[in-house]
Amino acid sequence: MTFDLYNPTEAHQALREVVRAWGLEHVEPQARAHDESETFNEPLFRRLGSELGLFGVTIPEEDGGVGLDAVASVIIIEELSRFDPGLMLSYLAHDILFTNNFYHCANDEQRARFLPAVISGASIAGMAMSEPGAGTDVLGMTTRAVRRGDTYVLNGTKQWITNGSCGDLFLVYARTTDDPADRRGAWSAFVVEACSPGFTAGRKEEKMGMKSSPTTQLIFEDVEVPSANLLGREGQALKHMMRNLEIERITLAAQSIGIALRCVDEMSRYAITDRKAFGQPLSHFGQIQRLLAESFAHTMAARALLYDVARGIRADNRQSLLAASAKLVATGAAEVVARNAIQIFGGHGYTRDYPVERMLRDAILLSIGGGTNEAMQKNIVSDLVRLHR
């Protein structure tokens, strides 16, 4: 049997074909309009769960999920990011940052209470970690949760929260100890419902890209959260965070690869068949050949690394070094390839006549979100130091 790196099983191949066809029919036609209006296509987003069954991809079937793996998540996000990376950013926040993370740190009662609505798409979810003064330095968070009987009272502000203005549920990290020296056992995780008194979403951020995905502050003012919504025990949140990092990084890398693949398709068609200069197709000229060839090669190299890493990622097998490497390489490739595409399109590439302008704007976020590329470099070197000691 021949092994296919990108479709390891027949189920993966079938998933890719269904998702790509659905994306062409339903996601591509609306992408430009929602980018330009900076609006979230909530009905279409919910259909990803209710119609396509793409929520809960990594959740076992016995718990209502699809029962697939990290490769399946990569396939979905790569394919649909060809059409609308912003919509996929909201998908990633819902299905990876919340659903996958929640499942692995929740008990059976919590799973039964929250998973059905999240997997069906009836509820939209997200994760709240970053703060105005704590981005890459997540242990600098100041949001506080104080226990009072059977509730915790949350106070603080979260920043850059995907799905902030449309979400129904959020996985929220907060400090539960007063010891300022305790930077590792100080954090606990909670499920917080957006309908809770004192919970408000701040204004929607006006962003350079990913405009079809809403990003806001979340503000907690004496928000009472039932103790039954504490995930695990107090002080376990850092472990929860770490468990989810690798799948978050490879799915952000998958967004980047989707963007790069779309740009390679667009620039190839334009240079080979659509545009001529001096009586020759653009692809006849050496400068254009360099941009095309390097864009294709960089995309395929990053894609191969991504899928090789994704095959090994499970909840009990973190792959920290390789996941950081995949994100670093893929996000860098997406920016370079999108920029090359704009250069090949010339003046048209700088306008909104073609999607490559939108793809570049969307690509830039991916080297910042989910851990900056500078943080990826630091993490890679730290892991290499540990390996070589």
- Strand 125-128 and strand 151-162: the pairing is unpaired
| Distance between start and end Cα atoms, the chain | 40
DSSP 317: B
The whole-angstrom separation of Cα 338 and Cα 287 is: 16
Q: How many CB atoms lie within 10 A of CB 11?
A: 15
Catalytic-residue membership of 62: no
Whole-number CA gyration radius for the chain: 21
- List Cβ neighbours of 325 (8 Å cut-off, separation of 6 or more): 305, 309, 376, 380
Q: Which of 78, 248, 266, 357 is catalytic?
A: 248
- List Cβ neighbours of 161 (8 Å cut-off, separation of 6 or more): 126, 127, 128, 130, 167, 170, 201, 215, 216, 217, 218
Residue type, 234: E
Q: How far is CA 280 from CA 248, 271, 274, 343, in A?
A: 44, 10, 11, 18
The residues annotated with a catalytic role in the active site are 248
